Structure 1
């Protein structure tokens, strides 16, 4: 791949658009192009608190590649306007759509090459793997984890970013043909239409529970300290636009919560409590520990899933009939997914299956179909899985 990167870098035309005059010229080029538009973004998630886009790459036949720094503009609505009627091609669209919407890039017709590859049953669906599978070109991911808020962006990074979109239109054409040949083009159409309304889940008020090694905390008081430390770090990360893990890593917060230090000095002496800001912001962290030690609002250990349903491991005791339904339905759906050469999670969202098994609105295929539709399952998914689940419920009885 080094040779491919080198050739792209040697071609030049990797100037970043960051002025109004340059953007106007880029829009003119975009208008003169034809066909679908490949779009990608680069973020700095491992370095910044925000998940905003720091580079937007656009490719269209007849236009070439546009590399746009969105920060000076705030909004790229004028870019979206000239391509609004075209199909936008993204890879793993759910990763890019939130930050695209922040700058007013809102597609009305899209094609997701990653999702399409999943529906085709591809073993590897990362961009590099898909490009290699479809075009025989090996892409390196040398800069995928770099700090894209860096200015100016190195030329080698820009060459890498440009390749991500310059090959995507050809990839889309080939995958679209495969979908038709496999009889899965209608599945893909429904999935892409569903993606147009994708929004990230609202932030979980108890997301602090996802601390690394947090499951090792058994005492309610330890959980209270962990919670207060997590929110103190999150507040500081937001203030400084810094990724939380770069301030104090998860494992350090967990270690402090486990130790339950009783004084500021004990916290400072805890060698496991480390990180870039572990000592410079010690007053902040100690204040959080104190709040955790003094609060009467002690968190409970939880085994509930994101939708409020208990984890299936506990169903046997809480609701045995639901456990039997789940034991029968899950392998039946998985077996059908294998026959269709599609991942089980793409055949039916696991949370939907858990919901139907935990509290079905009925046990006939028709009632299950209606419940799945209310949950957000697509028509093709319902048509395949509702009868399977209904049969499984009969077996469970």
Structure 2
């Protein structure tokens, strides 16, 4: 096994950047985080490969400043797999590509049955990658050589994969589809924070009453604050199920909370004062959460449409098979041709009048790419108009 060296100082990073600047063609980039172990999503290893330059493994915390690396490769095409997962961590290091090639997204557009990195490498190059360390704690130091080998292989073949996939995209007439999708990933704004993130507690549906929900909210907030302070994944301190169990047990004292056997986790007992203070704060709260939220602009589930908005239900049922059929013709998953959410929003609130042009404008406003509009707008418009005519015909027949 090759001996992999991690660059863990600024001088080494500057030297590596100088070599990468002299390399040729696209740059393969990958990131390893410590998801499930750390609170943050920061990068604990950045892997970079470029032809005629070589492969480099960077340790971000001790390096600190990636200005030289950004200057060396920032203007080049970066090849990433599932870029939307890695871009936030890279941007935290002020590493920002001018353009990208996403091998996972390309494989989806091409209709590959398997789109994980290992599968795509195997399908395109015939090389099998071991994926044994994908869920490891990458904040561990020193990193074992077997982990470093896994990390290196994640980028070592990525440029070759990119070339194979690009040739397939050209052959299938999908190169422009891919270019628009890659640009959309790069330009996508981060999601706005949830107004009440504590409602994502697993098992919260078993909690009844606004007072009890207030206690759950305070316990979640206390755990979140402590997790941020310690840079530990919240669920490793106290799992969701333990928080819900504490709420349901409704303990009358700190010792009663400690006696709740389901209240587990590495900080459940060591931080008992913290959790008890949160329970008392929840009980004293005067601003109580609602039992149910409106969900903002979330649409009702389609199964409820027949009662809530029967015309929309008819439109959706008419248009969905049209989009699915076009996706089959293009040999790609339906959600990559047009996400179900966009079609639902369009069916719920269509433009007036319904034409291919107005449907296309509505889709663009909702965030669809031009190629998606070109491939779907006429079919959706025809389906919407046909559904209305079908309803009118049926009512005339019955009358």
Q: Is this a same-fold pair by TM over 0.5?
A: yes
- Distance change in 2, residues 1:373/1:286 (3 Å): same
Per-residue CA distance 1:263-313 (angstroms, 9 max, x = gap): 333322211111111111112212222233333433334476674333334
Per-residue CA distance 1:240-264 (angstroms, 9 max, x = gap): 1110011001111122223333433
Counterpart pick for 2:146 among 156, 170, 195: 156
Map residues 192-203 of structure 1 onto 2, 5 A cutoff. Answer: 192-203=182-193
Q: Tell me the matched-pair count.
A: 387
**2:71 aligned residue:** 81
Post-superposition shift, 1:344?
A: 1.6
- Check whether the contact 2:13–2:66 (CA below 8 A) recurs between aligned residues: no
- Distance change in 2, residues 1:70/1:255 (3 Å): same
5+ long unaligned stretches in structure 1: 1-9
Post-superposition shift, 1:41?
A: 0.6
**2:366 aligned residue:** 375
- Check whether the contact 2:238–2:268 (CA below 8 A) recurs between aligned residues: yes
- Check whether the contact 1:92–1:113 (CA below 8 A) recurs between aligned residues: yes
**1:274 aligned residue:** 264
For the aligned residue pairs, the C-alpha RMSD in angstroms reads 1.9
Post-superposition shift, 1:205?
A: 2.1
Post-superposition shift, 1:332?
A: 2.9
Post-superposition shift, 1:111?
A: 0.2
**What secondary structure, in the 3-state scheme, does the structure 2 residue paired with 1:88 have?**
strand
C-alpha distance in 1, partners of 2:299/2:65? 40
Post-superposition shift, 1:321?
A: 2.5
Post-superposition shift, 1:75?
A: 3.2
C-alpha distance in 2, partners of 1:388/1:254? 48
**1:190 aligned residue:** 180
Q: TM-score, normalised by structure 1?
A: 0.92
5+ long unaligned stretches in structure 2: 389-399
**1:312 aligned residue:** 302
**1:250 aligned residue:** 240
Does 2:109 align with 1:116?
no
Does 2:201 align with 1:211?
yes
Does 2:255 align with 1:265?
yes
C-alpha distance in 1, partners of 2:90/2:214? 36
Return the index of the structure with the highest Cα Rg. Answer: 2
Q: TM-score, normalised by structure 2?
A: 0.91
Counterpart pick for 1:390 among 381, 384, 391: 381
C-alpha distance in 2, partners of 1:365/1:40? 41
Per-residue CA distance 1:316-335 (angstroms, 9 max, x = gap): 44333323322333333223
- Check whether the contact 1:225–1:292 (CA below 8 A) recurs between aligned residues: yes
C-alpha distance in 2, partners of 1:262/1:323? 50
C-alpha distance in 2, partners of 1:234/1:294? 20
C-alpha distance in 2, partners of 1:115/1:302? 36
Does 2:46 align with 1:56?
yes
Indicate the larger mover: 345-354 or 307-316: 307-316
- Check whether the contact 1:35–1:60 (CA below 8 A) recurs between aligned residues: yes
Post-superposition shift, 1:131?
A: 0.7
Counterpart pick for 1:31 among 11, 21, 30: 21
